[in-house]
Amino acid sequence: MAVFCLLGLGVLYHLYSGFLAGRFAAFMPSEPAAGGPESPRGSAPAGSVDLRELLAVSVLAAARGGEEVKRVREGNVLNAKAKGKTREGADEQLTTGDLLSNRRMFYLLKSAFPAVQINSEERVDTADQETVSWDRSIPEDIKQKIQPKEVPAESVTVWIDPLDATQEYTEDLRQYVTTMVCVAVNGKPVIGVIHKPFSAYTAWAMVDGGSNVKARSSYNEKTPRIIVSRSHAGKVEQVARQTFGNKTVIIPAGGAGYKVLALLDVAEKNQEEADVYIHVTHIKKWDICAGNAVLRALGGHMTTLTGEEISYTGSDGNEGGLIASINMNHKALIEKLPDLEKTSHK
């Protein structure tokens, strides 16, 4: 009888030892599980961010900002005013659309990734803080094309342009208007989102990941179609025609986001097509970061006019102008247009 009792106790011990250990462990100090006690299941550990999640919320932020931009324009309540002067002396416009889009985009990204630095074109008023949450859902197209990738949070900088082409926005030239989000890691653009509020079209791409947009395949490198800012067309045209010949087509347009989309295969009836994008004056990094990331993801290039890579850390301005292309000999383009670099400093 004693032997049977001992065997019974042994069976009971093995059955319940794991359960009891688990119960007692809840009251004992131990290492946190992967992701930390505050992190939802599947998210990156504390101190890091998942770029796939950051892409998903960036796409959402651009769309939410675009909703504000569209609503203000269609309601004709822009309240446009000059917030300053450009280096060329033109008024730099600010509208209600800029401000409301900025508030929506900034606080959505900040609530989702509070440890990440966010740089925005417009000033963020903490007194006007908006509570915006993200349900952490990832669209199916992103799930299918992009794998999770964790990076240190301190290496990430997010650049927001809540309303690109504000001047054209005030003139009701809606086709040029975009909202953009860019993610840079250690100063290199790796995620780009360009959203057109008035057609609900969104292009996104992640370097070494995937994209929902493609490069166009037909180019004429001898007589390229060059897209430039409406205010700078004259500066570029003279040099371009001297270099490529009188058949070179100059396309004046508004908005850096629109100009990058012109280099891609975009199914938009109001989207012009170009081979090269050139800007010859100072430009802010939130204007160009998203487009730079998209081009890099597709094998394209965006550099200064002298061919230097643009770093998305430090100051918010790019002094060296830019030249962007895809599926072309980028170095050869730079060598053909030496006079443009001089123009960028005038």
Q: Is 166 a catalytic residue?
A: yes
Three-state SS string over 4-61 comes to: HHHHHHHHHHHHHHHHHHHHHHCCCCCCCCCCCCCCCCCCCCCCEEEHHHHHHHHHHH
| Residue showing tokens 């926005």 | 169
Tokens of 299: 């094998």
Separation CA 330–CA 78 (nearest Å): 40
Per residue in 105-131, is it b (16+ CB within 10 Å) or e — as a string? bbbbbbebbeebebbbbbeeeeeeeee
Tell me: is residue 121 an annotated ligand-binding position: yes
Q: Is 98 a catalytic residue?
A: yes
Residue 231's Cβ-side half-sphere holds a number of Cα atoms within 13 Å equal to 16
SS3 (DSSP) at 285: helix
Question: Of residues 50, 95, 98, 281, which has the active-site annotation?
Answer: 98
Tell me: is residue 265 an annotated ligand-binding position: no
Tell me: is residue 161 an annotated ligand-binding position: yes
Tell me: is residue 208 an annotated ligand-binding position: no
Question: Of residues 157, 166, 202, 303, which has the active-site annotation?
Answer: 166
Q: Report how far Cα 236 is from the mean position of its chain's Cα atoms.
A: 27
Nearest to 340 by CA among 317, 318, 323: 323
Tell me: is residue 109 an annotated ligand-binding position: no
Distances (CA, A) of 162 to 215, 289, 294: 25, 13, 18
DSSP state of 296: H
- Give the contacts of 15 (CB within 8 A, at least 6 positions apart): none
Q: Which residues are annotated as a binding site for Mg(2+)?
A: 121, 161, 163-164, 287
**Catalytic annotation, residues:** 98, 166
